[in-house]
């Protein structure tokens, strides 16, 4: 399934007419026209047209976020499977699959004093960000991991999860 969605994301043809649900503003549509061969154009348009507005970033902050996160904006991997991010909006959106849907995650949650600054943001797929919730203490994270693990039904996936945790903790 993920490979099919990855192929759709990589092979998409971008909408060639302006509409605000797809390109946000005429100036961003013109930016796309001037940079249509940039493979990261939809990420940049999403940052400039959406995140810059909702988080009230300056142009310099948005540029820095793009520069610092360009590599991680393309895809993420888990258990040998790569999930390409679908940064498209409106007519450029390929999938609603939350494993492919990018989301900005507050490193320190707002509820715990975290700010909406680019330095406090990282890219995560929507599914992982939703599962994380506002947990920020080690005991909350531990409880989440245990709860999720108890719900796993496939013994092979449980073993792979254990191996990954052992790798992370160098056990």
Global pTM value: 0.81
Q: What is the pLDDT of residues 117-148, one digit of tens each?
A: 999 999 998 887 776 666 556 666 676 777 77
The predicted structure's pLDDT at residue 133:
62
Q: What is the 3-state secondary structure (H, E, C) of 111-170?
A: HHCCCCCHHHEEEEEHHHHHHHCCCCCHHHHHHHHHHHHHHCCCHHHHHHHHHHHHHHCC
Q: What is the pLDDT of residues 37-84, one digit of tens each?
A: 999 999 999 999 999 999 999 999 999 999 999 999 999 988 788 999
The predicted structure's pLDDT at residue 107:
86
CA distance 50 to 48: 6
| Token output for 115 | 């700010």
Average pLDDT taken over every residue of the chain? 88
Per-residue pLDDT at 27 exceeds 90: yes
Rounded-to-5 percentages of helix, strand, coil across the chain: 55, 10, 35
């Amino acid at each position: 399934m993920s490979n099919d969605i990855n192929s759709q994301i990589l092979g998409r043809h971008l909408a060639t007419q302006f509409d605000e649900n797809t390109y946000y503003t005429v100036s961003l549509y013109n930016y796309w026209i001037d940079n249509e061969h940039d493979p990261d154009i939809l990420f940049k348009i999403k940052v400039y047209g959406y995140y810059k507005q909702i988080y009230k970033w300056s142009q310099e902050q948005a540029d820095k976020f793009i520069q610092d996160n360009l590599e991680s904006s393309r895809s993420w991997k888990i258990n040998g499977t790569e999930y390409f991010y679908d940064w498209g909006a409106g007519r450029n959106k390929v999938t609603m699959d939350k494993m492919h849907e990018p989301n900005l995650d507050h490193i320190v949650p707002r509820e715990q004093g975290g700010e909406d600054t680019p330095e406090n943001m990282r890219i995560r797929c929507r599914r992982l960000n939703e599962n994380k919730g506002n947990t920020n203490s080690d005991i909350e994270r531990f409880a989440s991991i245990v709860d999720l693990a108890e719900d796993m039904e496939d013994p092979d996936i449980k073993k792979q999860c254990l191996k990954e945790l052992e790798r992370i903790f160098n056990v």
